[in-house]
Amino acid sequence: MSAALERVDVSTDAEELAAILERDGAAIVRHALTEEQLTRINAEVDGVIGATAPGLRHPTSDFFVEFYGGRTIRLDGLPGKSKTFWEIMEDSFMTRVADILLLPNCEDYLLNTGQLIQIGPGETAQFLHRDEDAWSYFKPPKPLLEVEAMFALTDFTIENGCTQVVPGSHLWEPEREARPHEIQRAEMPAGSALLYLGATVHGGGANTTTDQWRRGMFFGFVVGWLRTEEACLLTVPMDRVREMPTRVQELLGYKAHEGIGVVDVGSPMTLLK
């Protein structure tokens, strides 16, 4: 029996959301963005997406050229491009769930990446994976490292490449692969989000349309002692960081995690003063 993908409203109590995630590894959160936030974010990123070609500009290996997709536009550094993104970083269902699920494993968490993933017509399905495999040197058993979400900034449909996800797979042995009937599709209207754990099997879907771009916003928090996937301290210009609320600065890495991530063996905040 394959597990269903539960759908809940963003007003769901954070403890309940965290419990669903611990049980299923994934859930769709309706109204994750208000109509107004959705309109604002899209307006903030339209220009920069329009000026960006699909595919990788500086690949580190052939593996990533394939993994990230030749017909997909990817843009990171979102905190430097969207003020609305700060709101989600500062206070949202993501922070409330991360407080519950990540804080037992760290003093504080960090933004792992803020990335637009706009899947274009003709893109093939990404292979199914667990994002926590980015830290491949970690051998099980490992603690929970990552809580993440794919926000739909346009409607996500089967045809335009909505995310594939395998509920329950966060509890599997690492070698176990998903069988076709276990894979669910995160069909959802713009403004909803697929919330999932770093250990949950998932991947971008194929875009079989000839004229639709599926725009998603990928947002994740990781335990604060881990090296983040995106070099957030470098992708967001420091002048922009100076304009941000303190909590957003902290989540980008301007806060030491005990003795890790220090500047002059003290707080990195000193660089922003």
Ligand X SMILES: O=C(O)CCC(=O)C(=O)O
Chain positions contacting Fe ion, by CB under 5 A:
131
| Closer to ligand X by Cβ: residue 79 or 220 | 220
Q: Closer to Fe ion at the Cβ: 99 or 229?
A: 229
Q: Residue 168 binds which entry of Fe ion, ligand X, none, with Cβ cut-offs from 5 to 8 Å by kind? A: none
Token pair of 144, please? Answer: 């929970």
Binding site for ligand X (CB under 6 A): 117, 119, 126, 131, 150, 163, 202-204, 216
Report the residue number, 84 or 163, with the smaller CB distance to ligand X: 163
C-beta of 81 vs 202, nearer to ligand X: 202
Minimum CB separation from ligand X for residue 25, in Å?
14
25 interface partner picked from Fe ion, ligand X, none, CB below 5 to 8 A per type: none
* Minimum CB distance to ligand X, residue 175 (Å): 20
Residue with smallest beta-carbon separation from ligand X: 204
If the CB atoms of residues 57 and 273 are measured against ligand X, the closer one turns out to be 57
Pick one of ligand X, Fe ion, none as the site partner of residue 97 (Cβ within 5 to 8 A by kind): none
How far is the C-alpha of 166 from the C-alpha of 211, rounded, in Å? 28
Residue 69, φ and ψ in degrees, nearest 5: 90, 130
Instruction: Say which residue the tokens 């307006």 belong to.
Output: 43
Binder of residue 251, out of Fe ion, ligand X, none (CB less than 5 to 8 A by kind): none
Please state, in angstroms and rounded to a whole number, the distance separating the CA atoms of residues 163 and 194: 8
**DSSP-derived secondary structure letter, 255:** S
Q: Decide whether 108 or 123 has the Cβ nearer to Fe ion.
A: 123
Q: DSSP alpha helices (H): ranges in the chain?
A: 14-24, 35-50, 62-68, 83-90, 93-101, 232-235, 238-241, 246-252
Sheet holding 7-9, edge to edge: 7-9, 26-30, 193-197, 146-152, 214-223, 109-119, 72-75
CB of 272 to ligand X, least distance (A): 30
Q: Shortest distance, CB of residue 263 to Fe ion, whole angstroms?
A: 31
Give dist(CA 155, CA 78) in Å, integer. 20
- Regarding beta strands 202-203 and 193-197, do their DSSP bridges make them parallel or antiparallel, or are they unpaired? unpaired
DSSP element (H, E) containing 214: strand 214-223
Measured from the Cβ of residue 131, the count of other Cβ atoms closer than 10 Å reads: 23
Q: Least distance from C-beta 87 to ligand X, angstroms?
A: 22
| Peptide bond before residue 141 is cis, with ω within 30 degrees of 0 | yes
- Which of Fe ion, ligand X, none does 79 bind, CB closer than 5 to 8 A by kind? none
Q: How far is the CB of 243 from ligand X (least distance, A)?
A: 29
From the list Fe ion, ligand X, none, partner contacted by residue 204 (C-beta under 5 to 8 A by kind): ligand X
